[in-house]
């Protein structure tokens, strides 16, 4: 079971990377009024959160810079940024680095209990695998948001807005 979780996570990240690489960077910072954030924010949030979630249960060294928290942590938004955010190329590099590290995770690690359960609102995680699974459920939610943002932005571009 744990091996299939790892294979699924790799597939999810490959799909995310394929989609992101196909999006022109000039669309990364456009924010339609119907959305709380931009494509760049969602991409960075995916990288930041995977790093965070995996650090809760796995002894992995962080691959994303500390500065990513000020850009992409839950509750942040581009309107509040006071520094230049990472480029598309940099974000893709971190997502790719994370993808490579997924295949190095031992399935046995996912079966281990956390030192203490983690609670996030109504959610409770007791094993490393539960946090791992949630990380990729979370990633697919933002993957979907990016797809929706892209559709709106492409529509607006075609309509000349």
Tell me: the pLDDT tens digits for 61-88? 668 899 999 999 999 999 999 999 999 9
Q: Is the pLDDT of residue 1 over 80?
A: no
Distance CA 19, CA 149 (A): 12
CA gap 36, 76 in Å, rounded? 10
* pLDDT at residue number 55: 86
* pLDDT at residue 143 in the model: 97
State pLDDT tens for residues 133-158: 999 999 999 999 999 999 999 998 88
Rounded to two decimals, the pTM is 0.94
What is the distance between the alpha carbons of residues 50 and 62, in angstroms, rounded to a whole number? 10
Average confidence (pLDDT) over 33-57: 93
The sign of the torsion formed by the CA atoms of 71, 105, 18, 146 equals negative
């Amino acid at each position: 079971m744990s091996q299939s979780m790892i294979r699924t996570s790799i597939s999810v990240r490959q799909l995310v990377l394929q989609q992101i690489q196909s999006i022109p960077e000039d669309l990364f910072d456009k924010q339609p009024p119907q959305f709380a954030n931009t494509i760049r924010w969602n991409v960075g949030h995916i990288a930041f959160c995977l790093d965070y979630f995996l650090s809760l249960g796995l002894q992995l060294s962080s691959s994303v810079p500390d500065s990513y928290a000020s850009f992409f942590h839950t509750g942040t938004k581009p309107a509040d940024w006071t520094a230049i955010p990472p480029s598309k190329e940099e974000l893709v590099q971190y997502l790719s680095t994370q993808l490579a590290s997924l295949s190095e995770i031992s399935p046995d690690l996912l079966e281990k209990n956390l030192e203490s359960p983690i609670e996030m609102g109504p959610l409770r995680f007791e094993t490393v695998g539960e946090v791992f699974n949630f990380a990729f459920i979370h990633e697919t939610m933002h993957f979907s948001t990016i797809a929706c943002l892209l559709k709106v932005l492409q529509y607006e571009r075609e309509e000349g807005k």
